[in-house]
Amino acid sequence: MRSGRRLQRPLGERRYKKLFVIAVEGEKTEPLYFSIFNDDSRVVHVRCLEGKTESAPPHVLRRMVRYLADEEADLKKTDEAWLVVDKDQWSEQQLLPLHQWVSKRKRNGPERGFAVSNPSFEYWLLLHFEDGNDIADLRQCIHRLRHHLPESGKSIDPQGFSEEMILKAVERARKRNNPPCTDWPRNPGCTTVYLLVEKILEAGKKNGGRE
């Protein structure tokens, strides 16, 4: 484990109070990363709807819509549903329906969010280690990340990310998203995943159980 204080949750909570459902493109990297925010105290719970062979943005949106339509999902108004995708090679026509979906929140449904990393989710990971300057494309992003995580092409170790590292990534991402984009980052070297992570961290600080 890397040095640094691990994420802590209050003890004694019998039920989590807020659920974050996150539909992602990948079936490995993103779910492993977001598992950082789950622990036995269950104050906040993160559930990933991972991709397999269907990873394009329309498939990510479809997985979320199907999940929310399932009566067993039982999401509360205070829960949140997020779409997390890469800009990568996807066109604006492919990303626009996801952005539009966020604004169509149902009256009693969970809050909705949309987070995009340009060029990819690996850029968000890179910000845990450095400022992420001069990234022009996915190849450069992967190359730089492997200096810090040599096995990042195969897997990542959630235990390798301390709370200090996560907070630093949030700070770096916020600085790079300036002025804040209203939909998704158009240029490489920017990610809005920090908006989701901030909300998870903030929800974990509050007291009380999920009603």
Helix (H) or strand (E) holding 19: strand 18-24
Q: Compute the Cα dihedral for 66, 68, 69, 74 and give only its sign.
A: positive
In a domain, 8, yes or no: no
**pLDDT of 178 above 60:** yes
Here the tokens at position 170 are: 């949030």
How confident is residue 16, by pLDDT bands cut at 50, 70 and 90? Answer: low
Q: Name the pTM for this structure.
A: 0.88
Q: How far apart are CA 73 and CA 81, in angstroms?
A: 11
Residue-range definition of the domain harbouring residue 122: 18-205
How confident is residue 128, by pLDDT bands cut at 50, 70 and 90? Answer: very high
Report the pLDDT averaged over residues 32-42.
Answer: 85
- The total domain count for the chain is 1
Helix axes 193-205, 163-176, angle to 10 degrees: 140
In a domain, 74, yes or no: yes
pLDDT on residue 93: 95
Residues pairing with 19 in the sheet: 45
Q: How far apart are CA 68 and CA 202, in angstroms?
A: 24
Contact status, residue 186 vs residue 1, Cβ threshold 8 Å: no
How confident is residue 121, by pLDDT bands cut at 50, 70 and 90? Answer: very high
In a domain, 7, yes or no: no
pLDDT on residue 51: 78
